[in-house]
């Protein structure tokens, strides 16, 4: 059979013969047994269990039950549990003084100003409600003036909105007054900044 043009073997000419000889030779038999890996050394220590005394020692002291007083500001402190005790330099019960600043028809506005002037700084609860009630009345007054001004221009819808606004705010203030009188917390978030400013700027007389 004639050789083709590319019928060449670039490998070792004796390679096929060597492969045949290698296949005929069996691997030598040995009696060596499979070696087992050594067991790992026990270097880990057992975790020590905590008893109740040890576990309690690692708990944070501020777990929501024992919070230091300096973590609470007068503005955000709990304003509940209003008592009937007489407030110093005023002579009126605390629960009445906390409710007065929320009364509608400008009664609360005047009461808030007077309380901030005469109630001492030590009465933080009363002063907070006085400042917050006064801030609420100022905010309501500003909105009411705007609605009235727009209504006077000739917009009937503004007059209707003004009337609805007065009714809603009157009911809201009465609810706040009742809650403050009963010792329940009252927080008007929308006037927080004005409340703080009023309480700081209107200082009590000595």
Q: Quickly list DSSP for 162-185.
A: HHHHHHHHHHHHHHHHHHHHTT--
How high is the pLDDT of residue 41?
A: 64
Structure tokens belonging to residue 186: 């009252």
C-alpha distances in Å from residue 136, one per residue of 44, 139, 184, 187: 66, 5, 18, 11
pLDDT the model gives residue 57: 52
Residue 94 structure tokens: 């605390």
Q: What is the pLDDT of residue 149?
A: 86
pLDDT number for residue 36? 67
- What pLDDT is stored for residue 19 in this prediction? 67
Judge contact between 132 and 191, C-beta under 8 A.
Answer: yes
The rounded Cα 23 to chain-centroid distance in angstroms is: 79
How many Cα neighbours within 13 Å face the side chain of 161?
14
Low-confidence residues in the chain, pLDDT < 50: 3-7, 58, 60-65, 67-79
Residue given tokens 């043009």 in the structure block: 5
pLDDT of 170 reads: 96
Instruction: Give the phi and the psi of residue 77 in degrees, each rounded to 5.
Output: -70, 165
Q: Supply the pLDDT for residue 112.
A: 96
Eight-class DSSP state of 196: H
């Amino acid at each position: 059979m004639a050789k083709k043009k590319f019928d060449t073997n670039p490998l070792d000419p004796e390679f096929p013969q060597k492969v045949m000889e290698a296949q005929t030779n069996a691997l030598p038999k040995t009696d060596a047994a499979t070696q087992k890996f050594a067991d790992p050394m026990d270097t880990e220590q057992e975790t020590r269990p905590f008893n109740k005394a040890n576990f309690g020692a690692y708990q944070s002291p501020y777990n929501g039950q024992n919070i230091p007083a300096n973590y609470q500001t007068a503005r955000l402190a709990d304003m509940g549990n209003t008592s009937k005790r007489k407030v110093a330099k005023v002579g009126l019960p605390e629960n009445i003084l906390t409710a007065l600043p929320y009364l509608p028809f400008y009664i609360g506005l005047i009461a808030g100003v007077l309380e901030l002037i005469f109630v001492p700084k030590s009465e933080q609860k009363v002063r907070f409600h006085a400042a917050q009630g006064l801030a609420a009345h100022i905010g309501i007054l500003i909105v009411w003036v705007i609605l009235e001004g727009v209504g006077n221009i000739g917009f009937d819808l503004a007059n209707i909105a003004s009337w609805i606004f007065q009714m809603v705010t009157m009911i809201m203030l009465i609810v706040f007054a009742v809650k403050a009188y009963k010792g329940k917390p009252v927080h008007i978030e929308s006037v927080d900044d004005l409340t703080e400013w009023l309480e700081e700027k209107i200082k009590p007389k000595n």
